[in-house]
Structure formats: C-alpha cells, structure tokens
Amino acid sequence: MGTLINKRLLLGVTGGIAAYKSADIVRRLREAGAEVRVIMSPSATEFITPLTMQAVSGHPVHQHLLDTGAESGMGHIELARWADAVLVAPASANFLARLAQGRADDLLSTVCLATEAPIAVAPAMNQQMWNNNATQSNLAAVNKNGIKIFGPGEGSQACGEVGPGRMLEPADLVTLTSELFATGELAGLTVVVTAGPTWEAIDPVRGLTNRSSGKMGYAVAEAAAEAGAKVILVSGPTTLTEPERVRTIRVTSAQQMHDAALAQAATANIFIGVAAVADYRPAQTASKKIKKTAERITLELVRNPDILADVAALKPAPFTVGFAAETDNIEAQARQKLESKKINLIAANRVGLDLGFESDENSLLLVEHGQVTELPAQPKPKLARALIRHVAASYRARSGAEIYQLRS
Ligand code: C5P
C-alpha cells in the first residue's frame, strides 16, 4: 500500500445509505496521514449531517456552489487546486450520470471538472440501478475520462436485495486511494537525492551553514519512491523525519555529502541534487573552542568539491538534475549552470527573504537543453510530484534517444 502522508484528499459524499460510512472513511484517511476536506451534495446531508463530517475532518464542510461566503473563503477553484486527489464515496447513480455528462451545476461536479488531480468514485446503489444500461453506459463514459471506479462490491443490500452495488468497505477504499499516487513512472530505477544544508565546522561548537530546511529534497525523495523508484536520500543536518520507503544516509559536511553521493550515484539512473551545499569550508577546523581573546581573527576558506559536476562527469553518468536558488535573472543563471556543470536539467526557483528556503510553498522553472517548463507555486509535496513526473518523462526521452542512436 502507498502512503497518504502529506496528501490532500477531497472526499465527495453523495446521497445514498452508504453515506453513513463516509465518516469512517475520513477517519481512516486521516489516520493514514492525509488532510481531508469534505464536499456534500444536498441529498447526502439527509443521510449524515455536515456537523459529523466537520467533526471527523476537522474542517467545515463545503456544500454550495453559488454561496458568496464559501466562495470568498475556499471556493470551487481553490478546492479543485488544493486537492491531490478526489474520492467520491458513496457515488450515487445520479452523481455518476452528472459526472458522465460533465455537469457543473453543483459544487462537487464543478470541482470534478475543474481539478487536475486524479478522481476516483466508489459507486453505491441498488443492484437493479447498478445493472441498468443507463448506469453502465454512464460508468463507461466516466471511465473513458480517466476517472477510476472503485468497486462496487456484491452482497446483501440495505434495500433487502442481493447483488452488485454495495460500496466497498472504508479500509479498502483508503488502500485504493493511496494507490492512486503510486504512478510506477520510475519503476525499476534507482534515484539518489541530496537534501538539506551542510555544516562546515569552524570549531567543535561553531560552523558555517545556511537556511535550507530540507523540505523540498525530502519531498522529492518521497515522490520518487511513490513513483516506484528505489531511493537513496543523502541528507545534511535537518529536523525532518526520514521518509518511508527511502534509505536515508545522514551526513554533516559537504565533503561527506560528496563522498556518499558519488558512491551511490555510480550505480543510479537518476541523481537529483536538491541540497544547499556550502561552496566553501574553513581551511582548518580548530580542535578546541576558539576563545574570545583577539580583537580580529581571519577565517580562511577553501572551495568544496561540486557534487553535481562530479556526478555528471561519472562514466556512465546518471540523468543529473540540479537545483538553483536565484534572486534575479533566473532563466539565464539556470542555463549558465546547466552548461557549466554539464547536467541534464536545472530546477530553478526565486529566493528572497520570504521565499523559498523555509516556506512550505515553492515554484520552479525547469531549464533543459532546448526547453523550459514552468511549475507554478504550490505546496512542496505537490511540486515534488510534478517535478518527478517531468524528470521521468525527460529521462525516458533521453534513454529512448540513446537507444535510437545505438541502433541507427
Ligand atoms: O553552483 P550552485 O551552488 O549555485 O548550484 C546549485 C546546485 O548545485 C544544487 O543542485 C546543489 O545541490 C548543487 N551543488 C553541488 N555541490 C556544491 C554546490 C552546489 O552539488 N558544492
């Protein structure tokens, strides 16, 4: 099963007796690490109250499309953008018909049209309604639009009949939802990621470091694991929890990061250097704390090795991705870095006093030989998934080109 840690789940609840199980779905999604917001159709509120869903999700329930109060808070477009995935459970026959037609006259159907996130529906209805040709053709249309259908199960129904149409159990729905994120785009590949700052010791208690939190690198490692890769994360000092399904190697200095990263990169397919590596380190590290006696002291610094450039010089080299934090002239600076380090892709972002390093959101400009792609500002986990999707496509395009060159 995949993980739902850091995932934003939008649960749509439509009118059917199985709606009484929706509170349990929310509880289980949250236990699996997701943040959950709920949209209820008017008929769903006849089966379970918005107050219950608010209590279990920890957020007010969204119900109306044309409500000035709601739209001025988190309106339909914000909800559509916020979601990492949409699950509609239970999905009534009526809702499936509306989804098949691409209707946009209530909040849930409108959000389903407006979101780029994956959508899954868990149908729940009487077995005759399920077997009806109209429902089956609606389902085929929904499926053709890329929407996943979870279930339904078979068995005794609330109406006393027996047959297909029971909503899958909450635990199964949570497992299937977590699998929505397991894209398999990097299946069979090894990815090495560096993250966080480095610490260059001056003496036993002092050192040179920077404001990198490690959040972006950890999110990239997590997204690569989710995409099916074997991931090794070489991390500088951070306060973050080690991601699941990732082998984390902890280092302190740039030299240690260099040595660990190069050893791992030699057998990797993709290398992503997200770490904010110190360019210089003190020429000497004092073995004892430097005392406050002299009026003026001088710290001599020497250059650290460039990890990315050294990885890119390996033969064979992995597909190499660097990060560039710039305050101005982003694209030109990124292109210059791409050329000088001889790497495949630079993910550049603007940093300033309030942007980039410690914040939870970021945007990226992906600069490659011959193309530039912009990933707009979004939470780091979501941005990391978009980056991994792009890297996987560029990696495949390059590997395809190499195979073509060998054959021609
Ligand atoms: O050269 P600059 O530090 O601006 O480039 C940033 C990119 O290079 C980042 O991906 C960072 O991880 C990497 N880097 C490195 N080794 C260094 C310095 C930076 O791999 N010594």
Q: What tens digit of pLDDT does each residue of 128-184 get?
A: 999 999 999 999 999 999 999 999 999 888 888 888 899 999 999 999 999 999 889
| Domains of the chain, earliest start first | 2-179 (3.40.50.1950), 190-407 (3.40.50.10300)
Mean of the per-residue pLDDT values of the chain = 93
Please give the distance, rounded to the nearest whole angstrom, from the Cα atom of residue 372 to the centre of ligand 1.
20
Mutation test of ligand 1: which of 274, 277, 338, 349 has the most ligand atoms closer than 8 Å to its C-beta? Answer: 277
Measured in residues, the chain has a length of: 408
Counting from 1 in the atom list of ligand 1, the atom nearest the Cα of 322 is 10
Please give the distance, rounded to the nearest whole angstrom, from the Cα atom of residue 257 to the centre of ligand 1.
11
390: Cβ contacts below 8 Å, ≥ 6 apart: 366, 373, 375
Full strand arrangement of the beta sheet holding 361-368: 246-250, 230-235, 190-195, 270-273, 319-326, 345-350, 361-368, 371-379
* 112 is known as an active-site residue: no
**Ligand 1 site residues, Cβ closer than 6 angstroms:** 194, 254, 273, 275, 277, 279, 304, 306-308, 322-324, 337
Count of helix runs (H) and strand runs (E) in the chain: 15, 19
Q: Answer whether residue 355 shows pLDDT above 60.
A: no
Mutation test of ligand 1: which of 210, 271, 274, 306 has the most ligand atoms closer than 8 Å to its C-beta? Answer: 306
- Placement of tokens 């986990």 in the chain: 381
- DSSP structure class, residue 145: T
Spacing of C-alpha 65 from chain mean position: 28
Q: What is the mean pLDDT of residues 271-278?
A: 97
Give CA–CA dist 3/82, Å, rounded.
Answer: 18
Q: What tens digit of pLDDT does each residue of 25-42 get?
A: 999 999 999 999 999 999
Q: What is the mean pLDDT of residues 232-249?
A: 96
pLDDT band at 357 (very low <50, low <70, confident <90, very high): low
Q: Answer whether residue 70 shows pLDDT above 80.
A: no
Counting from 1 in the atom list of ligand 1, the atom nearest the Cα of 254 is 21
**Contact call for residues 289 and 203 (beta carbons, < 8 A):** yes
Give the Å distances, CA to CA, from 118 to 148, 378, 393. 8, 17, 19
Counting from 1 in the atom list of ligand 1, the atom nearest the Cα of 305 is 21
User: Between the ranges 75-79, 114-118, 324-328, 355-359, where is the mean pLDDT highest?
Assistant: 114-118
pLDDT band at 230 (very low <50, low <70, confident <90, very high): very high
- From the candidates 1, 77, 159, 301, give the one annotated as an active-site residue: 159
Q: Which two tokens stand for residue 254?
A: 């740039």
Model pLDDT, residue 401: 65
Please give the distance, rounded to the nearest whole angstrom, from the Cα atom of residue 274 to the centre of ligand 1.
8
| Rounded (5°) CA angle 357-239-380 | 40
